[in-house]
A and B are shown apart, each in its own frame.
Chain A
Amino acid sequence: MSVGIVSPREGLIASVLARLTPKGKDYSGQWVVFPERRPGYYLRKALAKREGSAFLSPRIDSMDAFVDRVYRERLGRRDKSIDALDAAALLFEIHRDAPGRLGGGHFLTADQFFPLGTRLFRDLEEMAAGSVSGEALSRSDGWSDESVPEAARRRLQSLSLFYERFYEILAGRGYSTPGSRLRDVAAALEPGVFADIDRIILAGFFPIAGGEAAILTAMAAWPNVDLLFQAGTGVGEALDRIGISDPGLIAEAMKVEAAPPEAVIEFVESPDAHGQVFALNAAMAPDLADPAGLDEHSVIVLPAAETLFPLHQQTLAALPAEAYNISIGYPLARTPISGFFDRLLELVQSADEEGRVYAPHYLRFLLHPYTKNIYLNGRADLTRVLIHAVEDELIARRTRAFWSLEELPNDAGIRAAVAERSRGVESAPDPAAFMAHLASIDAALIAPFRSIRDVREFASKLRAALTFVYDHSTARRHVFFHPYAEAFMDRLEALGRSLLGPTVFEDQASYFNLFRKVIAAGSVPFEGTPLRGLQVLGFWETRGLPFRQVAILDFNEDVLPASQRVDSLLPFAARRALGLPTYRDVERRVEYYLDTLRRGAERVRIFYVKSKDREPSRFVEKLIWERQKSLREPRASKLVRKVRYQVALQTPPLLPAAKSPEAASFLRTFVYSATALDTYLRCPLQFHRRYVLGLREREELGEEMEAKDIGSFVHSILEEYFGRFVGRRLRAAALDAAAMEALIDRRFAESFGPDLSGGLYLMKRQTRAHLLEFLTGYQKPILDGLEAAGKDLRIPSQDRICDFVVPSPGEARAWGPVFRRGLSSDRQVRPARAARRRPFRPGLQDFGPDDLSRDRF
């Protein structure tokens, strides 16, 4: 055995390189294991440089790959490898049959259980990898000195049941997991397993409690094994953890650790992510101007994947593709494919009992860029024409909320709208072809999800939908669509094949929930190969790599270290007692790798966001403090450069809008609605833009009815109700509340379907309550009073314009000496004096004649 402490400046790769001895150009007798895959690319590049020719590569693995390879190739174990999806299914099986279920009455379906199952699996895997015994777990009542709360103790009892049952089932059914493989490999390791290997080098690890440490401990004593560690914060303790306590070695580690890092270090504080990127651009300006000079010894570290795209758009996209590598896992849920499926499943889920889909969701799905750019005759523009015609028509018929997929492509109104929209479009097909295209989109993407047999079929349908979009739309021309699509296909394929595959849900929504949770746990693996140029890496991907120039973005608390810490069902005390890594261990590891990264570099630029909800990482604070001490600078702010934007706080004064003759002429004949008056009172400029200039937002088909839609809808009910009284005497006895209720029921059912939910349900209740109150509490007393006084009330018509005049007191203002406008009235009743006009305006305050003050105009 040889254990070496490597100075980060010297570099791990160089140190490994020096230990590799080939037979000619053949390194296949050497086996190198790093914590990650990426150092392997650096090592091969270094070997090529040394050889000056091609060569047969040594085996180079990450620790996970090493374990798998030993398990299969060396131990000959050929069982089926299962992942978190399968594990969630197995654990759910155990959960269902368990006497005292975790969570009591919760987590009763597989989709509800899935997030718990994946957390549980992580814990079980850690315990398996760390070879924790079931007895140790169930002996939790023996930890009297540990502050484990009672509830957590009971949870541990449940965990011990899961732990034992789960790995029993695995063994019984011929399955293995990463944790079980690590445990088995650690137990079976002996030099004979590697008889054909000349040398094994394990390099760059920072052992904390758990399975990895078990491997290192087991192999540390072998004669043909080298263990190489980089000097850095806490490495002495880490060595101790795997039983290496050579005083000379520890002293060497301490010596490097005590020496001040040589790197120039800069701190940049920014109010947001883009500020960091712009500051990075400025700092790297010479490199960005000469991309050929960028090499793999420069790195931009992204501990938060969310900054990848700002960086890509604002920095990397300016470089040729061969000038950089991206190696990071990007969350699937952040990709636009996830958004597309959200829209699709939202639509499917909106279907009522008759299978009719909710119009706003249908439209949202059609308007998604992937859907509206599906090719028709090889052209995406034609589909956009079609879909905007559908939009026009559905908005025009907005009170109709539910449509069946069969009637939409056969609707005469949509067909007419398509004909209208496509008129003049070059080489447009006839409306029938457009409508057939709409039907084909429905058939390919929506209809398959109306019935789902089981999870396997569901996953297969999702894959088919994605393949359809890939093959038939412009989506594949979007940047990164291909890797996103591949990652989705892999994830969905894994879901379909997993032990969850045969699961049948009663409720369709459960499939969709499961999908969302499965996607939330997945990521797109940007591999970043072949190795070239500037490196853009996640934090953990930097381990063991030699960088001269380092820039770390988002160096914030909750990012480094991550806020989730160890997302475990096991409390801290239990983890410690069981010998599992705690959040403190994880933080030590973060600190160690940060330290080695800094010690290896010539320049380190640290960027962090400081805003109302983000703070710099504790490690940044520590680094600043160290810097303050070394420079004897009491003010931390002197060491931090800040991103500041130009902000003009002065609001320019609102200039009066001079009226053109056309505007004045328009206003003279303009008929004011209550809404127009309201708009003017709120903001004259808005009134000018909306009514005089005629600018208005495009109407949308929203999920919630807008105030004006509610108003129109209610008005139409009142119109129908009072329509039968027009020209006749209106008597109090004729105001029939039951007829009004029946009318409301009928109109809602016609427009929104029989089963209302959410906002529509509440709206119906509100409408019923208000209209009945209007009828019985307001109209009826008036009629009673009139009848008592021997007077009649008649409705001559339901919609009429009346004029009124407001005289001006001499002084001419912008609006002229006489204000003469028309007001549209909901209905006219006689005698007018007996019943003051009261517009029915839900959601809008009444206003009286006083509000029409001339001065306010």
Chain B
Amino acid sequence: MAGAALTRFLEAVKGFEGRGRNDLREFLEFTGEEGKDAWTIDVPETIDAVKVMTIHKAKGLGFPVVILLLYGQQWQAPDFYLDAGEGSEGGVDGEEPSGVQVLKINKGLAEADENLKRVYDEARRRDQVNNLNTLYVALTRAESELYIVGVKGPRGKFPFDLLGGEYRSSPNLPPIRRPDREAAGERAPLRRLAGFFDAAADPRQSLNEESRRRGEFAHRILAEIEYVAAGWPAEAAAAASRIDPRFRAGASPEADEDSAGLVDAISAFFGQAPAAGFFEPRPGRRVLRETTFCDAAGRSVRMDRVVVDPDAVHVIDFKTGREPGLGDREQVLGYIGIVKDVFPGRPVYGILAYIDRAVWEPVE
């Protein structure tokens, strides 16, 4: 099963890919420089080993035995001091933030100016408080035994000045109870499926963005038209104008000029027999436009136009483009099968309407 190193590697890949990157060379850069953390393997909590960590990392944790290494510290003046002043507030409220001052101060300067002294003393006090907090954390991690090993230099007095005299260990230490292994919880079984898998890429050779949009626009125009009363050019143009510009034919406003070409093509093709007959109102006729049918497995298909007459049903599928599709006929035959179920007892006919090729092709 997966070891820590392999998993760590996969995690690094995940982090890298998450930045939208897919370049092996950049991955090496990423993991070499920016992502050194990517190779850090956390030692499992339950491993039977001494844990070595900083005081900060130990925050919130407890251990039966703690060996604490303390080094003498002295005030390390920061390279610079930040002074936000008082009552500064900025952001999106229309007021300019008062800003933060970056100050370079030493003790002498601080003595000479009241404001600088405030900043200097504040920083020093903050440092002392932080040190005390850290020391508190360090001294309170042990459950049974605490050993402090001090390294006291000539200058660093803290924390030894605080701890006072020498500390000696207690002569009668109780035996340390080892942590309850069971309390760590059961181990989850893991499984890495063997091998790497090739997922098939999309076989399409082109995005066909323009033709896709053109086809979609043509369908939207035709979906707007139930019956033609005012003549095809006017109906088609009015239908096109009702369509949200987002769905216009071209992928850019410049290409919208093509809309006119499409409207003309639609008008010319459907304005003539036999297509025109399927856009005329007739007694008992019902027209279903862009309507969802389902096959016997519950798979939905959206049919472009189904003309339901009392004596027959016609399924018309609109196509744009200069070439017929390989599966066009099979698609319409599938539709016919579905519609037969829905309108039993009526003959169902299929039609492929190739708008750009001006071909009206019955499918049986």
- Given A44-B300, A103-B91, A315-B193, A467-B44 contact (CB < 8 Å): no
Q: Does B167 touch A at the CB level, under 8 Å?
A: no
A530 contact set on B, CB distance < 8 A: 299-300
Q: Does B165 touch A at the CB level, under 8 Å?
A: no
Tell whether, in the assembled complex, residue B23 and residue A482 are in contact, meaning their CB atoms are under 8 Å apart: no
- Give the residues from 101 to 123 in chain B that come closer than 8 angstroms, CB to CB, to chain A: none
Task: In the complex, identify which listed stretch (A226-234, A278-286, A351-359) lies at the interface while the others stay far away.
Answer: A278-286
Q: Does B295 touch A at the CB level, under 8 Å?
A: yes
1/0 per residue, CB under 8 A from A, across B281-309: the answer is: 00000001001111111111000000000
A278 contact set on B, CB distance < 8 A: 1-2, 7, 190-192
What's the Cα separation between A269 and B4 when bound, in Å? 15
B190 contact set on A, CB distance < 8 A: 275, 278-279, 281-282, 643
Tell whether, in the assembled complex, residue A645 and residue B44 are in contact, meaning their CB atoms are under 8 Å apart: yes
B349–chain A nearest beta-carbon distance, Å: 17
Contact pick for B199, options A52, A105, A312, A369, CB 8 Å? A312
1/0 per residue, CB under 8 A from B, across A71-92: the answer is: 0000000101100000000000
What's the Cα separation between A334 and B19 when bound, in Å? 5
What's the Cα separation between A803 and B2 when bound, in Å? 54
Tell whether, in the assembled complex, residue B92 and residue A116 are in contact, meaning their CB atoms are under 8 Å apart: yes
- Give the residues from 66 to 109 in chain B that come closer than 8 angstroms, CB to CB, to chain A: 89, 91-96
Question: What is the count of residue pairs linking A and B with beta-carbon distances less than 8 angstroms?
Answer: 275
Chain B interface mostly: loop
What's the Cα separation between A151 and B95 when bound, in Å? 10
Contact pick for A476, options B197, B202, B343, CB 8 Å? B202
Contact pick for A317, options B92, B192, B197, CB 8 Å? B197
What's the Cα separation between A273 and B49 when bound, in Å? 25
Q: Which residue of A lies closest to B32 (CB)?
A: A697
Tell whether, in the assembled complex, residue A489 and residue B207 are in contact, meaning their CB atoms are under 8 Å apart: yes
Q: Which residue of A lies closest to B10 (CB)?
A: A274
B189 contact set on A, CB distance < 8 A: 279, 282-283
B186 contact set on A, CB distance < 8 A: 638, 640-642
1/0 per residue, CB under 8 A from B, across A287-298: the answer is: 010000000000
Contact pick for B46, options A309, A639, A644, CB 8 Å? A644
B267–chain A nearest beta-carbon distance, Å: 21
Contact pick for B43, options A80, A313, A649, CB 8 Å? A649
What's the Cα separation between A649 and B11 when bound, in Å? 20
What's the Cα separation between A583 and B134 when bound, in Å? 35
Tell whether, in the assembled complex, residue A45 and residue B14 are in contact, meaning their CB atoms are under 8 Å apart: no
A44 contact set on B, CB distance < 8 A: 294, 298-300
Q: Does B201 touch A at the CB level, under 8 Å?
A: yes
What's the Cα separation between A154 and B244 when bound, in Å? 38
Q: Does B310 touch A at the CB level, under 8 Å?
A: no
Q: Does A48 touch B at the CB level, under 8 Å?
A: yes
Tell whether, in the assembled complex, residue B20 and residue A342 are in contact, meaning their CB atoms are under 8 Å apart: yes
B49 contact set on A, CB distance < 8 A: 649
Q: Which of B46, B91, B209, B343 has the most CB of A within 10 A?
A: B209
Contact pick for A647, options B47, B182, B199, B291, CB 8 Å? B47
Q: Which residue of A lies closest to B97 (CB)?
A: A104
A283 contact set on B, CB distance < 8 A: 189
A609–chain B nearest beta-carbon distance, Å: 10
A335 contact set on B, CB distance < 8 A: 20
B339 contact set on A, CB distance < 8 A: 54
Tell whether, in the assembled complex, residue A102 and residue B92 are in contact, meaning their CB atoms are under 8 Å apart: yes
B11 contact set on A, CB distance < 8 A: 272-274
- Given A80-B244, A278-B1, A641-B185, A368-B298 contact (CB < 8 Å): no
Task: In the complex, identify which listed stretch (B139-147, B245-253, B351-359) lies at the interface while the others stay far away.
Answer: B245-253
A53 contact set on B, CB distance < 8 A: 296, 341
Contact pick for A54, options B14, B246, B296, CB 8 Å? B296
Q: Which residue of A lies closest to B255 (CB)?
A: A460
What's the Cα separation between A800 and B24 when bound, in Å? 41
Task: In the complex, identify which listed stretch (A432-440, A490-498, A722-730) lies at the interface while the others stay far away.
Answer: A490-498
Q: Does A338 touch B at the CB level, under 8 Å?
A: yes
Q: Does B163 touch A at the CB level, under 8 Å?
A: no
Tell whether, in the assembled complex, residue B14 and residue A310 are in contact, meaning their CB atoms are under 8 Å apart: yes
- Give the residues from 625 to 664 in chain A that come closer than 8 angstroms, CB to CB, to chain B: 635, 637-647, 649
Tell whether, in the assembled complex, residue B19 and residue A47 are in contact, meaning their CB atoms are under 8 Å apart: no
Q: Does B62 touch A at the CB level, under 8 Å?
A: no
Q: Does B200 touch A at the CB level, under 8 Å?
A: yes
- Given A336-B22, A337-B20, A49-B94 contact (CB < 8 Å): no
Tell whether, in the assembled complex, residue A57 and residue B96 are in contact, meaning their CB atoms are under 8 Å apart: no
A597–chain B nearest beta-carbon distance, Å: 22
Tell whether, in the assembled complex, residue B188 and residue A25 are in contact, meaning their CB atoms are under 8 Å apart: no
What's the Cα separation between A49 and B199 when bound, in Å? 32
Q: Does B42 touch A at the CB level, under 8 Å?
A: yes
What's the Cα separation between A611 and B11 when bound, in Å? 13
Tell whether, in the assembled complex, residue B296 and residue A48 are in contact, meaning their CB atoms are under 8 Å apart: yes
- Give the residues from 1 to 54 in chain A that come closer than 8 angstroms, CB to CB, to chain B: 24-26, 28, 41, 44-49, 51-54
A314 contact set on B, CB distance < 8 A: 10, 192-193
- Given A57-B300, A306-B18, A642-B46, A471-B206 contact (CB < 8 Å): yes
- Given A103-B92, A288-B193, A313-B196, A496-B252 contact (CB < 8 Å): yes
Tell whether, in the assembled complex, residue B23 and residue A54 are in contact, meaning their CB atoms are under 8 Å apart: no
B234 contact set on A, CB distance < 8 A: none
Tell whether, in the assembled complex, residue B89 and residue A151 are in contact, meaning their CB atoms are under 8 Å apart: yes
Q: Does B183 touch A at the CB level, under 8 Å?
A: yes
B339–chain A nearest beta-carbon distance, Å: 8
- Given A54-B293, A467-B209, A81-B46 contact (CB < 8 Å): no
What's the Cα separation between A733 and B344 when bound, in Å? 111
- Given A337-B20, A497-B245, A55-B185 contact (CB < 8 Å): no
Q: Which residue of B lies closest to A494 (CB)?
A: B246
Contact pick for A48, options B199, B202, B295, CB 8 Å? B295
A612 contact set on B, CB distance < 8 A: 42
B7 contact set on A, CB distance < 8 A: 272, 274-275, 278, 645
- Give the residues from 167 to 209 in chain B that come closer than 8 angstroms, CB to CB, to chain A: 182-193, 196-202, 204-207, 209
Tell whether, in the assembled complex, residue A336 and residue B91 are in contact, meaning their CB atoms are under 8 Å apart: no
Tell whether, in the assembled complex, residue B94 and residue A45 are in contact, meaning their CB atoms are under 8 Å apart: no
A154 contact set on B, CB distance < 8 A: 93-94
A466 contact set on B, CB distance < 8 A: 207
Q: Which residue of A lies closest to B251 (CB)?
A: A493
- Give the residues from 115 to 154 in chain A that come closer than 8 angstroms, CB to CB, to chain B: 116, 151, 154
Contact pick for A101, options B94, B253, B295, CB 8 Å? B94
Q: Does B242 touch A at the CB level, under 8 Å?
A: yes
Q: Does A470 touch B at the CB level, under 8 Å?
A: yes
What's the Cα separation between A41 and B287 when bound, in Å? 24
A93 contact set on B, CB distance < 8 A: none
Tell whether, in the assembled complex, residue B183 and residue A47 are in contact, meaning their CB atoms are under 8 Å apart: no
A149–chain B nearest beta-carbon distance, Å: 10
Chain B residues near A (Cβ < 8 Å): 1-4, 7-8, 10-11, 14, 17-23, 25-26, 29, 41-44, 46-47, 49, 89, 91-96, 182-193, 196-202, 204-207, 209, 242, 244-246, 251-253, 288, 291-300, 337-344
The 4 closest A-B pairs by CB, nearest first: A45-B298, A317-B197, A48-B298, A482-B202
29 residue pairs bridging A and B, Cβ less than 8 Å apart: A48-B297, A55-B341, A56-B288, A56-B293, A57-B294, A60-B292, A81-B246, A103-B93, A104-B92, A268-B188, A271-B42, A279-B190, A285-B191, A313-B196, A314-B193, A339-B21, A339-B23, A368-B23, A476-B204, A478-B201, A479-B199, A481-B202, A493-B252, A496-B251, A496-B252, A642-B185, A644-B187, A645-B44, A647-B41
Q: A81-B246, A367-B23 are in contact. List 12 more A-B contacts (CB 8 A).
A: A25-B343, A47-B294, A48-B299, A104-B95, A154-B93, A314-B192, A317-B199, A456-B253, A482-B207, A496-B253, A497-B246, A647-B4
Chain A residues near B (Cβ < 8 Å): 24-26, 28, 41, 44-49, 51-57, 59-60, 78, 80-81, 100-106, 116, 151, 154-155, 158, 268-275, 278-279, 281-283, 285, 288, 306, 309-310, 312-315, 317-318, 321, 333-339, 342, 364, 367-369, 456, 459-460, 463, 466-467, 470-471, 476-483, 485-486, 489, 493-494, 496-497, 501, 530-531, 569, 611-612, 635, 637-647, 649, 700
